Amino acid sequence: MSRSDNVPSSRPGALASLRRTILPRGALGVLAVSAIGLFLTVSGPDPAGVRSALALPLSFTALAATWWIVRWRARRATAERSVWRMFSLGCLLYGMGAVVTVVVAVVPRTAPLAEVPAGVCGVLTFPLAYRALVRWSRHGSGVDPDDLLNGCASLLVATAVLGSVLVWTTPQGHAAGGGLLTSLPGLRQVLLVQDSAVIVLVVAALTAAFTGRLYRDVRLWLVTAAYLLAGAGGLVALAGGGVTRPAWSLPVWALGLLALSTAAILPVRFVPTQSSDPVKSTVGSFVVVLAGLGTAVTVVATGAPGILAVVGLAGVLGSSVRLLVNTGELAQLAASREEALTDDLTGIANRRAIVRQLDHTLAHPGTREPGLQVVVFDLDHFKEVNDGLGHSAGDDLLRMVAQRVQPALPAATVLGRLGGDEFAIVSNAGAQGEAVLGALDEAFAEPFHLAGMSVHVDLSVGRAHWPTSDSPGGEGSVDAAMLLRRADTAMYDAKRNDLRCTTYDSARHGETRGLLSMVADLRQGITGGQLRLHYQPQLVATTGELAGVEALVRWQHPVLGLLMPGRFLPLAESHALMDALTREVLEQAVAQQARWHREGLHVRVSVNLAAGTLLDTSLPATVNALLTHHRVPATSLVLEVTETALLREPERSLSVVEGLRALGAQVSIDDFGTGYSSLTQLRQLPVSELKLDRSFTMDLLSDPRAAAIVANTINLAHALQLRVVAEGVEDEATLAALAALACDETQGYLHARPLPADEFDTWLTQRVVGAER
């Protein structure tokens, strides 16, 4: 990671300030002087030709200064590095074109075509400028960040439209029946495409400004002005039917450079994100398709040059492909998400599907009367089968077990393999629950035929019920993992005691011991300042720059030491302490963020919200008060919620989420992929980030289906203008794979474990120093 605005300065004094302010301002001064000089070269008579001789060096100085300033920004910006890098590449390309043009101009035979190389390079900068703009407004506009296809299609259609307009409206174009486009081969065409590019870029900038909330960012207006000023001369030239730009076009072009450079020098601000709206990008593609078709038809009907129709239709083709790809991606994602729920070996549900099923039932308790039963069973002495008869015999046995158990089960129960030789069955409690046990007895009564032998297999069964008999009203804190763990505990108890089946009993299996005193401790701990936040970095996948941190709570228990969230969050949730805990966490996180901001580290901070907190309609006001008090911009706060939480009481939680968005805060979907949300719901959610669950990241390299899901999820998320953060990245290979799939950011032990703020600062400094060496 190189030095950036977001990194506290470790290099003191003069050198730092030279780099930070003096040099860029100096370069801007040079640019301003060159622009003034260029104005002077065109004002008033120039008998000795001195002024026009100065025009060339002044233009190159202006271009070089601009390139330097933009590159300076690209090196320092964290959030917008790729944007400014593209602008700086664009300047470089443009400069190269200008150099070639100068060379061509001095050779008499080629002199009339002198402007062609500059024009061609100008056109070639379009993809860079377009991408820069779209990437910048990624969350604001309705455009896919890397949607170059749409951009180029728009350029083709704009060229066809502008060309037709010129043919019809300018005397030369009209008289020559399109001669405008065929005379002076090369130059006019290039000018036409270049001017169309300016128009597309300005339209894209305006779309970003108005459909997003980018209009508050003065830098966007400066960049828009830069496009317009740089292209003004060419537009006027074409409109006049000629190719010679008016004399003022050079100084005006320099003004454009000045606008771009000023935008680069102004401090990077966090752009408020806006609810994703795929409709906009689809509408965009449709508009391009319609405009292209309309132009082609009109061109043919009016006898204008056919090339314009061809160009327009090429644009139509591009946008149509984009639309098709979009639809295909959606369908593919739906299919692979479905596939990811089956176990490869046996074809029954896998662990993910079981967890989903449980979560769904827990979120909709009414659907399971009289309650829920989870049965977990495994095969006794499976290891001996595997070792003695070989792995393929072991696999055969697992398949046979699934084949026998599945049909024996009552309707509306779900059988899944959790992994290894461990299976789970989700069913109703009551009569159906008993029938499940009967089905298991039946399935294992007969021996299995394996490798030519007849093998009798026995099993151990554990079951857990929800709600439990000691809390018939239900326990708020229960989740899928906990139910599976309880059934598992019961199963091991059965194994230990040589029983066939044991039912989980909280009194015997021990979760309640000391519970009440623990609750009292926790209540005291929340208000008594015993909660600690650890921060885990989220890094840009391709560059490793710091983009944000996730705040994760720990409890410094006076006797038990530092406790992880798994130990106390369920308690907080079941004993109505979650709101107080969340407020405390938010307070600490925002205060820490304010501290970082004061030190020059403008980092995004993510805070987790529990499902219950999402139902608290006063939350947006609380968050607002906190942000105002600490003077932290709402846009740099991210609130993570899970899909399941959003679905629990969708209307109420959605209104809380919308309230948060209205403040400008970002909302992220945590643990994405484990929940139940459908694509349609995802489209409607006003969120700006999606956190890919660790289970997918972990399996990325080993499980092709997980890889397919990750790839599709990233594509879909990008189509919906969401940032994707992959959780649980533990090795370089996974990081590389994620970066290759265009995942935006990664978080995980590979980079750092969650760290207390001071250790986090040390980690960051070491990273910066390491990168500078």
Q: Is 396 or 670 the residue whose CB approaches ligand C2E more closely? A: 670
As measured in angstroms, the least distance from the Cβ of 658 to ligand C2E is 20
For 729, residues 6+ apart whose C-beta sits below 8 A from its C-beta are 697, 735, 738, 746, 747, 748, 749, 750, 751
Q: Which residues of 344-356 are buried (b: 16+ CB within 10 A; e: fewer)?
A: eebebbbbbbbbb
Q: Is 289 or 589 the residue whose CB approaches ligand C2E more closely? A: 589
As measured in angstroms, the least distance from the Cβ of 640 to ligand C2E is 6
Size of the site for ligand C2E (CB under 6 A): 23
Tokens standing for residue 745 = 């950011």
Of 234, 241, 284, 748, the one binding ligand C2E (CB under 6 A) is 748
CA-CA-CA-CA torsion sign (465, 470, 471, 473): positive
Per-residue mark of binding to ligand C2E, 366-405 (x: CB under 6 A): ----------------------------------------
As measured in angstroms, the least distance from the Cβ of 573 to ligand C2E is 8
The contact set with Ca ion (CB under 5 A) reads 608, 640, 670-671, 727
Tokens standing for residue 380 = 């006794």
Pairing, β 666-672 against β 604-608: unpaired
As measured in angstroms, the least distance from the Cβ of 536 to Ca ion is 9
As measured in angstroms, the least distance from the Cβ of 668 to Ca ion is 8
Under the binding rule (CB under 6 A), the answer on residue 30 touching ligand C2E is no
**Which of Ca ion, ligand C2E, none does residue 340 bind to, with CB < 5 to 8 Å depending on kind?**
none
Contact 729, 711 (CB under 8 A): no
Under the binding rule (CB under 6 A), the answer on residue 670 touching ligand C2E is yes
Per-residue mark of binding to ligand C2E, 688-727 (x: CB under 6 A): ------x--------------------------------x
Q: Is 127 or 565 the residue whose CB approaches Ca ion more closely? A: 565
DSSP 575-631: TT-HHHHHHHHHHHHHHHHHHHHHTT---EEEEE--TGGGG-TTHHHHHHHHHHHHT
Q: Is 413 or 697 the residue whose CB approaches Ca ion more closely? A: 697
For 655, residues 6+ apart whose C-beta sits below 8 A from its C-beta are 617
Q: What is the DSSP letter of 674?
A: S
**Which of ligand C2E, Ca ion, none does residue 243 bind to, with CB < 5 to 8 Å depending on kind?**
none
Under the binding rule (CB under 6 A), the answer on residue 309 touching ligand C2E is no
Q: Is 143 or 578 the residue whose CB approaches ligand C2E more closely? A: 578
CA 518 to CA 575: how far, in whole Å?
11
Q: Is 165 or 707 the residue whose CB approaches ligand C2E more closely? A: 707
Q: Residue count of the chain, please give it.
A: 773
> Residue 724, Cβ neighbours under 10 Å: how many?
24
For 34, residues 6+ apart whose C-beta sits below 8 A from its C-beta are 58, 59, 61, 62, 65, 254
Q: Is 481 or 625 the residue whose CB approaches Ca ion more closely? A: 481
Phi, psi values for residue 138, rounded to 5°: -45, -50
Of 208, 728, 746, 760, the one binding ligand C2E (CB under 6 A) is 728
Q: What is the residue whose two structure tokens read 């008869």?
A: 389
Per-residue mark of binding to ligand C2E, 228-267 (x: CB under 6 A): ----------------------------------------
Subset of 535-594 contacting ligand C2E (CB under 6 A): 536, 552-553, 564-566, 569, 582, 585
First to last CA, the chain: 10
Subset of 594-623 contacting ligand C2E (CB under 6 A): 608-610
Of 396, 488, 493, 671, the one binding ligand C2E (CB under 6 A) is 671
As measured in angstroms, the least distance from the Cβ of 550 to Ca ion is 6
Contact 422, 393 (CB under 8 A): no
CA 239 to CA 196: how far, in whole Å?
12
As measured in angstroms, the least distance from the Cβ of 644 to Ca ion is 12
> How much helix, strand and coil, in percent to the nearest 5, is found in the chain?
60, 10, 25
- Binding residues for ligand C2E (CB under 6 A): 536, 552-553, 564-566, 569, 582, 585, 608-610, 670-671, 694, 727-730, 747-749, 754
